[in-house]
Structure 1
Amino acid sequence: IDLFKLSSLFGPILIIVICQAIFIVIYSIFICFKVLGKNFDSAVMISGLIGHGLGATPTALANMTSISDKYGYSKKAFLVVPLVAAFLLDLFTMPCIILFINILS
């Protein structure tokens, strides 16, 4: 890959990543945290949501582990987030991806 040809895309990619980070934090704090119940379990789940929104399931687990190491363990969060992020999300997104590929091709 010739990285010099891709250097013109650095600005737009940086803007997209910054907007994504801002959106996931605002969405997590103001919508999901309130919907999940405003307790410790929901705070740990929100840290997993932010990690998953900015990366993948391992990032979500790393975020949740760092929160749990400092404030305490949440059994509910460590059951729900990996199950939803790793398994159920794949079951939902695969049909959506196939649908959009068929529509746009």
Structure 2
Amino acid sequence: MVLPLETSTLRRMLNQWFARCGVEPRVVAEFEDSALLKVFGADGVGLFAAPTVVEREICRQYAVSVVGRAPEVKERFYAVSGERRLKNPAVVAISDVARHELFGRGAAPR
């Protein structure tokens, strides 16, 4: 497998999942950069984990296929703002698209 560095949250979650499943992956490469990890995975160096929220885009862009899922492993994404309520129209639009199209959740109060 090609995996993120041991210091990443995703890697720690994957390691915990592997341990629960009794799996000892053969790690052939570790990357800090997730795009580089995907390039090596797409080139056949090894399997890699990726968020299902961007699955279709990754499959299309890197010409790879899904071979399994680890539903217990969840990656979190945050939009951080100093404002209590989003005001900038561009930021509001990006937040709304992420909330509705990427994550399929209803709008949260702004």
Whether TM-score is above 0.5 comes out as no
Q: Highest relative contact order (Cα 8 Å, sep 6+), 1 or 2?
A: 2
- Which has the larger share of strand? 2
TM-score relative to the length of structure 1: 0.29
TM-score relative to the length of structure 2: 0.28
